[in-house]
Amino acid sequence: MRRLAHSLYFWVLVAVAAGTLVGSLAPATGVALQPLSTGFINLIRMLVGPIVFCTIVLGIAHMRDLPRVGRIGVKAIVYFEVLSTIALAVGMLVGNLARPGDGFHADPTKLDDTAIAGFVTAAHDQSVTAFLLHVIPTTFPGALTSGDILQVLLVALLTGFGAAMVGERAQFFVGFIESASQVLFRIVGMVMWVAPVGAFGAMAYTIGKFGWGSIGRLASFMGVFYLTCALFVFIVLGVVARLAGFSILRLVAYLRTEIVTVIGTSSSESVLALLIDRLERLGCRRATVGLVVPTGYSFNLDGTCIYLSLAVLFLAQALDVPLSLGQQASLLFVAMLSSKGAATVTGGGFITLAATLAVVPSVPVAALALIVGIDRFMSEARAVTNLIGNAVATLVVSRWEGEIGAAQLRDALARGPGPIAP
């Protein structure tokens, strides 16, 4: 019992159960508890930018093999594109086979689209040019305070390369970043013990706000999506992990605290800093973790990709709109592009879905009103799948680079992550 009392994993589980109970029995109270979740997420977000910056700068500065850094980046991007395409194809395949939208016979003219107006507006504002310009921060410090991972990544890469090229004369600067990194990770250890409070508030709000009724009406779609995510993790990522010399089951067990925290908060960003630390403990080099994890949070969104293809097919089926193979192929291509950077904006998955629907005029964007009520529940499966996908990606790239042996990795996973130091 004493061991459980010191387990963050245990307390997050208790908090999730308590939040569910409060949201069910006292919905108004549950909704009022949302600030607990918002406060915890904000605490984490204030640390993510500086931690990602320090991790990347130190990794590149210590490595000093700049061609190798470029090689790691190329391998990561290739891996992301392949796995994202497979995730989109899996979602489309399951959507065609399971057909979760059949039988709804929804009338698009009777849908209330007021709840999705903000998402539709944001989707129209998304373009390739706007996306690329958004990656460039207006000021150097602004990148660390914007909360945009891609901006932090750009500034950190430039700083890391600059420090590596300066060489010995940059040792004082690198030493300062090293000290700052240690302080920041210690702060993460303290903040993570607030995770049960955040998870409690998030679950109470979700259940209190949306209720079990919204789940019941769309249970078939939710069930198919959750099952598809599970199959992708344990079969597709399981095969990738096996080829890289480790077990996906061991990795899931290793990341159990992070997974439960993500479920409670519906945000993979809440454990980004902790994931970086966990992967370094497994033996991955700091440069590899610093490059792959932050980039993966914007470009390797397996759960979001599954959701995009499956949701479009569900909405088409619910409205009795047949989609040809050509239209589905167009959707696949558009979703491949629109999914990039979905995690960098609030409600990114839903905004990206609205943008993807634009290529199928026969399925009105107003159809999103059918699933807006359960998107919060769907985001949990998306976030967990994204988290596991990025952990697998980092380990695979590390194995490709010869940074860690298969036996060493298996032993580290078997030992477990160890306690989180407050």
What is the reported pLDDT for 41? 82
- The percent of residues above 70 in pLDDT, for the chain, comes to 84
- The answer to the question of residue 235 being in a domain is yes
Secondary structure (3-state) at 33: coil
Instruction: Say which residue, 67 or 227, is predicted with more confidence.
Output: 227
Inside any domain, residue 402: yes
pLDDT-derived band at 345, boundaries 50, 70, 90 = very low
Specify the pLDDT at position 351: 67
pLDDT at residue 7 tops 80: no
pLDDT greater at residue 129 or residue 168:
168
Q: 394 and 292 in contact (C-beta within 8 Å)?
A: yes
User: What local confidence, expressed as pLDDT, does residue 16 receive?
Assistant: 86
pLDDT tens-digit profile of 187-217? 988 888 888 898 898 888 888 877 776 666 6
Environment class of residue 245 by beta-carbon count within 10 Å: exposed (0-12), middle (13-18) or buried (19+)? middle
Q: Does 109 fall in a domain?
A: yes
Task: From residue 326, give the alpha-carbon distance in Å to each of 83, 230, 339, 369.
Answer: 22, 28, 20, 26
Per-residue pLDDT averaged across 91-98, rounded?
A: 92
The enclosing domain of 76 has a CATH number of 1.10.3860.10
* C-alpha torsion angle, residues 138, 142, 144, 146 (rounded to 10): -90
Q: Rg (Cα) of the chain, in Å, rounded?
A: 21
* HSE-CB for 250 with a 13 A CA cutoff: 16
CA distance 140 to 136: 9
Residue 249: predicted pLDDT = 95
Question: Could you tell me the residue range of the domain that residue 13 belongs to?
Answer: 2-415
Mean predicted lDDT score pLDDT of the chain: 82
Residue 212's pLDDT is what? 72
Residue type (1 letter), 291: L
The residue among 210 and 249 whose pLDDT is bigger is: 249
pLDDT number for residue 60: 84
Residue 110, pLDDT above cutoff 70? no
54 contacts: CB under 8 Å, gap ≥ 6: 177, 178, 180, 181, 184
Asked whether residue 117 is assigned to any structural domain, the reply reads yes
**What are the tens digits of pLDDT across the range 149-160?**
778 888 988 998
pLDDT bucket at 169, cuts 50 / 70 / 90: confident
Residue length of the chain: 422
pLDDT at 221 over 70: yes
253 or 108, higher pLDDT: 253
Provide the pLDDT for residue 360: 67
Q: Is 422 inside a domain boundary?
A: no
For residues 296 and 366, give the distance between their C-alpha atoms in angstroms, rounded to a whole number: 31
Does 1 score more than 70 pLDDT? no
* pLDDT in the model for residue 234: 96
Which stretch, 10-14, 147-151, 184-188, 223-227, has highest mean pLDDT?
223-227
**Is the CB of residue 320 less than 8 Å from the CB of residue 413?**
no
Q: Looking at residue 106, what DSSP letter applies?
A: -
Helix (H, G, I), strand (E, B) or coil at 401: coil
**The pLDDT value given to residue 132:** 66
The structural domain count of the chain equals 1
| Residue 152 belongs to some domain of the structure | yes
The model's confidence at residue 368, banded by pLDDT at 50, 70 and 90, is confident
Q: How far is CA 60 from the centre of its chain?
A: 24
CB 422 within 8 Å of CB 191: no
Per-residue three-class SS string for 123-148 = HHHCCHHHHHHHHCCCCHHHHHHCCC
Report d(CA 241, CA 52) in Å as an integer.
Answer: 25
The listed range with the strongest mean pLDDT (39-48, 99-108, 365-374) is 39-48
Residue 274 corresponds to which tokens in the numbers above? 């902790």
Q: 420 in a domain, yes or no?
A: no
Q: Flag whether pLDDT at 393 surpasses 50.
A: yes
